[in-house]
Structure 1
Amino acid sequence: MLPLVKRDELKAEMDAGKTVVVDTMPAAYYEREHLPGAVNIPGFPYEDAQRFTDELAPAVLPDRTVPVVVYCANVPCRNSELVGARLVALGYTDVRKYREGIEDWVAHGLPTETSEA
């Protein structure tokens, strides 16, 4: 299991530019709404999470030593755990999980971004 990060800690790290945030929702969800500055590595469908991570991580996370926080929709969502575990297996050295996900972020009135044209 990945180490956890709380919302306030994540927000402070994001504001300071000290972490890369990875949205693990399917691309269509990511395009509609994601945490500010987040990159996307889909973790769903679950059976494709490893392949998506293997294919996308080198481009969106070229530095394997940068602090990374993965998240998905909410606590029951497994996407972030699957992508995060694969990042660790690929040699990323500082991977944590925002377990409560974007639902918690939005519920607390924090900003999001969209990638839709």
Structure 2
Amino acid sequence: MLPLITRDELRAAMEAGSVVVVDTMPVAYYEKEHLPRARNIPGFPYEQAAEFTDRHAPSVLPDKSASIVVYCANTPCRNSDFVGRRLLELGYTDVRKYREGIEDWVAGGLPTESSS
């Protein structure tokens, strides 16, 4: 079980520049909408989450001691669980999960970005 972070805690950490945010949605979803400055490591399909994390983490997250927050769509979405646990297995030391995901972020009236 990954430690959790709330929307308000995440927003404050993002504003302070003290956290690296990782969107674990498939690339097409990430390109359409993601949290500001979020990086992407796809966690779906689940069977490929570890492979995707192994492939992308070295370039997306070069600092294994960075404070990292993973998220996906909403509470039932499990992408962030798979990616977050794999990051811990790879030696990342500070990984938390924004369980409520981008749906909660948007519901809170907070800004998002797109890559298109």
TM-score (norm 2): 1.00
Distance 1:67 1:108 in 2: 23
Question: Counterpart in 1 of 2:14?
Answer: 14
Q: For 1:2-57, what per-residue CA distance to the aligned partner results, in whole angstroms no more than 9, with x for missing partners?
A: 00000000000000100000000000000000000000000000000000000000
Question: Counterpart in 1 of 2:71?
Answer: 71
Distance 1:115 1:33 in 2: 7
Alignment identity in percent?
A: 73
Deviation at 1:72, TM superposition (A): 0.1
Task: Give the aligned length.
Answer: 116
Runs of 4+ in 1 over 3 A off after TM superposition: none
- In structure 2, stretches of 5+ residues that fail to align are none
Question: Counterpart in 2 of 1:84?
Answer: 84
Question: Counterpart in 2 of 1:3?
Answer: 3
* Residue 23, structure 1, aligned to residue 33, structure 2: no
Q: Secondary structure at the match of 1:102?
A: helix
